[in-house]
Amino acid sequence: MRLGAVAVVALLCVALSGCGSDGMDDLRDWVIKERKGRKPRVEPLPEIKTQESFVYSADTLADPFAPFNLKPRGAAGGPSPDINRRKEPLEDYPLDALRMVGTLSRGNQSWAVVQAPDGAVHRAKIGDHMGQNFGMVTNITEERVNLVELIQNPLGDWIERDAKLAIAE
């Protein structure tokens, strides 16, 4: 009896599954009908431009590894910065970010009063360094501080450049 009941339930499930519909038959028919008349539009491929061929010939160029091209920087006997020197506080900022706010003097000694971007005020005397280009103070007047900076030219040699820091108005 048990086997018969299972068979009846299985037969009933099969019969009922045929009666069911997901309700999307009309949607499927509409999609098929709409797609029949349409063809996808494909944009034409862009025209491929031909490139001129270039033959690289290094026979006429200078050898980048020749001994005269491998000279160390600053080896020409010109000026060069002292890399081993301890940096001073005003060398942490670019020169255009520093402001000269005044001068101090005692006897023959003069100092420039310079304000850093963080608001800290520093004294600088002749021989002190400031700016990020190895600038060294060469002269201090009431109106400005004169410096000599060391910068590298395109060949890697160090050259001197005059710079100044004028008093803030």
pLDDT tens for residues 140-149? 999 999 999 9
User: Considering the domain boundaries, does residue 22 fall inside one?
Assistant: no
Give the E-state strand segments of the chain in sequence order: 99-106, 109-115, 121-124, 129-130, 135-140, 144-152, 158-166
User: Considering the domain boundaries, does residue 40 fall inside one?
Assistant: no
Q: Structural domain of residue 155, as residue ranges?
A: 67-166
**pLDDT, averaged across the chain:** 83
Query: At 30, is the pLDDT very low, low, confident or very high (cuts 50, 70, 90)?
Result: confident
User: Considering the domain boundaries, does residue 5 fall inside one?
Assistant: no
User: Considering the domain boundaries, does residue 9 fall inside one?
Assistant: no
User: Considering the domain boundaries, does residue 38 fall inside one?
Assistant: no
The average pLDDT across 123-134 equals 92
pLDDT tens for residues 55-105? 777 777 777 777 666 655 544 567 888 888 899 999 999 999 999 999 999
Q: State residue 74's pLDDT score.
A: 46
Lowest mean pLDDT segment, chosen from 18-32, 115-129, 147-161: 18-32
Residue partners of 100: CB distance under 8 A and separation at least 6: 112, 113, 114, 115, 144, 145, 165, 166, 167, 168
Q: State residue 55's pLDDT score.
A: 79
User: Considering the domain boundaries, does residue 1 fall inside one?
Assistant: no
User: Considering the domain boundaries, does residue 137 fall inside one?
Assistant: yes
Sort strands 121-124 and 129-130 into parallel, antiparallel or unpaired: unpaired
User: Considering the domain boundaries, does residue 126 fall inside one?
Assistant: yes
Considering its fold, how many domains does the chain have in total? 1
CATH code where residue 158 lies: 2.30.30.830
Q: State residue 68's pLDDT score.
A: 64
Query: At 139, is the pLDDT very low, low, confident or very high (cuts 50, 70, 90)?
Result: very high
Give the predicted TM-score (pTM) of the model: 0.54
Task: Say whether pLDDT at 9 is over 90.
Answer: no
The average pLDDT across 15-43 equals 78
Residue partners of 144: CB distance under 8 A and separation at least 6: 100, 164, 165, 166, 167
